[in-house]
Structures are given as structure tokens and as C-alpha cells.
Amino acid sequence: MGADITKQLDDILSRYNGEKSDLIPVLQETQESFGYLPEGVMQRIAKFLRLPESTVYGVSTFYAQFKLTPTGKRLVKVCRGTACHVRGAGYILSEIERRLGIKPGETTSDLSYSLETIACFGSCALAPVMVVDKNVYGRMTPTRVGQIMDEIK
């Protein structure tokens, strides 16, 4: 773990008292900074919270939000909620898979894009929905996928 990573992590940890219940918020904030949870970072968090490393690893792998490998510069999420499902989310997902050449949970080899499916964004009235980073796109069609992917290139 590089010195700058250690410093960045210590900055985050300095805002917490080291209570065991801080584990999830600490992991969330850490991931927000590094994009994922590197092994060394998780070990340091375990030490700080006086928790076994296995507990930190257990929690990190239990919750879908946490990632143990680096993610792409842009995160493309496709909603697979019920409303999206019945309104054709499958076609949206296949179109994105086809364009990026990756499956959900994967990252392109140049680290430009990661693709994920999400249980539900709660924008069901505008189904099907996709999200790129923090932008939500509703009423999607396979053709619009192409337009949006070109726009965000």
C-alpha cells in the first residue's frame, strides 16, 4: 500500500471513533475514495476497528455495494427491477453488453467501463431505466442506448 493511499485512508479513519458499528460506513467511505476495497486497506480497517480480518472480508463480500476489484472510469448500471423487466430491460442490457463486450459484474480491459445490474432504482414509472455514474436515463430503448453511449464516450 503506497504512502498516499495510507494517508488518504488515515484521513477517513480519523473521522471515526473506532466503534465496531462504524464498519459499514467506513467501508462505504473508503470505497468512495478508492473506487474499490484493496486488500491492504481492508486489513488496516480491521486493525483500526479491532475486528478480525475475516469479519471485514465477510461484510465486504456480503453486501452487493462493495467491490474488491478496481472498477472502470464510468459505471453503467442497468435496472433489473420488475417494472423494468416487464418493459424490456433485458434488451437494454443485451445492447450494452454487446457494445461494451462485457457482462454484468465485469470491467472493460482498458478500465473505461464497468457494467452492473441493480435490483431497483425506484424510477419504475420511467422503466426501463439505466444509470451512468450519477445520471439516470428513463424510458430507454436499445436505440437510445447507442445514442447515450456515444454521448458519454
* DSSP state for residue 113 in the 8-state scheme: E
Residues 6+ apart with CB under 8 A from 21: none
Scanning the structure block, which residue is given the C-alpha cell 478508492? 34
Residue 114's nearest CA partner among 65, 75, 61 is: 75
Q: According to CB under 8 A, which one of 9, 72, 87, 93 is a site residue for other proteins?
A: 87
Residue 119's nearest CA partner among 42, 73, 72, 63 is: 63
Q: According to CB under 8 A, which one of 78, 95, 113, 114 is a site residue for other proteins?
A: 95
Residue 118 within binding range of other proteins, rule CB under 8 A: yes
Tell me the one-letter amino acid at 152: I
> Shortest Cβ distance from residue 110 to other proteins (Å)?
22
Strand ranges inside 53-94, DSSP E? 74-79
Q: According to CB under 8 A, which one of 86, 101, 103, 133 is a site residue for other proteins?
A: 86
Nearer to other proteins, 9 or 80 (CB): 80
> Shortest Cβ distance from residue 4 to other proteins (Å)?
26
Residues 6+ apart with CB under 8 A from 105: 115, 116
Q: According to CB under 8 A, which one of 33, 65, 69, 147 is a site residue for other proteins?
A: 65
Q: According to CB under 8 A, which one of 16, 34, 36, 137 is a site residue for other proteins?
A: 137
Give the residues lining the site for other proteins (CB under 8 A). 19-25, 27-28, 55, 58-59, 62-66, 80-87, 91, 94-95, 98, 118-127, 129, 134, 136-139, 142
